[in-house]
Amino acid sequence: MEFVTHCENSESSTTSSIIPEMETSSQIVELALSVERADTAALLGADESSIDTLEKKRLEEIRQQQISQAKLMAERRQKKAAMGMEQRQNWEQEIERYRIENEEVEERQRRLDIEETMNEFYPKLCEWVGLSNYEVLYNSVEDGTNASDFNKKVCGEKNVMFIIITKTGYAFGCFCHKKIPYPKKSYIYSMYDKKYFTFSLRNPSCSEPIYFKQKHQGKSICIWPNDEQNFIFTTKRFIKIKNPNGPHGTRSFFHGKFSLKYKSKDHQKREHTFFTQTTAFDVHRLVVLHWF
């Protein structure tokens, strides 16, 4: 009985000693698992933080690239718009330049045309000559530029107006009431014509049409012999119209002492340069009209 009791006590003692050991092992395993879970959680937490940082950095880089790209596109659009505006301005300036040039050409053609000139100044010319009808006696473009061409069309006529249109579009001339003399072996003047006057229709100063009377009556229109090669016709101290196909130059010219011979209605002194600003000039057309 004692033996049994001892055994039971011994078994009980052994069992009680084993249970604490098992509990300790379980705690160790549990602790290990806890540590592992903690380490895993810490590791996972560290990885997620790192991933978030990298992702944020990558997204920020993408955002900055997008901003840079947007700025670049905006700059390109602005540059393109500026270039488009500049091209449009250049285009508009080019159109305006062509328009002005075209208007200048049209104006020059109008000023060079005798019909346009007569339409523009007809009322003033009628007022000056006291007549309202006219016919063309001579046109240098159609009838020739020699003295003989001029003489056969003009000589013997009265109430004759000479209109010169220069290549720059200025217009001026003179009017003779008395009959134009016929040519002789030497040049011959028309004398003492009370109604003789010179005039300007278009001039560099853009003034209104104006006429000039002689201060003292005397010589006016000069008719040259038919065999004259240098001049078509001339006037006393006003103009000398040359044959453009003549042997001694083609440019016609004003007399330098015009202001000594002629006066205007307003008595304002005007030199020969009043008509074209120059002494010499190129004739585009010489037209002679008969008024009646």
> In the prediction, which pLDDT does 71 show?
87
Radius of gyration of the chain (CA): 56
> In the prediction, which pLDDT does 77 show?
82
Question: What's the rounded mean pLDDT across residues 213-223?
Answer: 96
> In the prediction, which pLDDT does 37 show?
53
> In the prediction, which pLDDT does 3 show?
42
Q: For residue range 163-198, what is the model confidence (pLDDT) as tens digits? A: 999 999 999 999 999 999 999 999 999 999 999 999
Of 202 and 59, the one with more pLDDT = 202
> In the prediction, which pLDDT does 5 show?
41
Structural tokens at position 131: 């007549």
Contact indicator for 137, 157 with CB cutoff of 8 Å:
yes
Calculate the CA dihedral of residues 223, 225, 227, 228 and round it to 10 degrees.
Answer: -50
% of the chain at pLDDT higher than 90 = 57
Q: For residue range 240-291, what is the model confidence (pLDDT) as tens digits? A: 999 999 888 889 999 999 999 999 989 899 999 999 999 999 999 999 999 9
> In the prediction, which pLDDT does 279 show?
97
Q: For residue range 114-125, what is the model confidence (pLDDT) as tens digits? A: 899 999 999 999
Q: For residue range 93-139, what is the model confidence (pLDDT) as tens digits? A: 888 887 887 777 776 677 778 899 999 999 999 999 999 999 999 99
- The residue whose two tokens read 């012999």 is 225
User: 168: closest CA among 253, 251, 284?
Assistant: 284
Structural tokens at position 185: 């072996």
Of 141 and 81, the one with more pLDDT = 141
Q: For residue range 8-54, what is the model confidence (pLDDT) as tens digits? A: 444 444 444 444 444 455 555 455 555 455 554 444 454 555 656 77
Contact indicator for 187, 171 with CB cutoff of 8 Å:
no
How far is the C-alpha of 1 from the C-alpha of 11, rounded, in Å?
A: 15
% of the chain at pLDDT higher than 70 = 80
Average pLDDT, the chain: 84
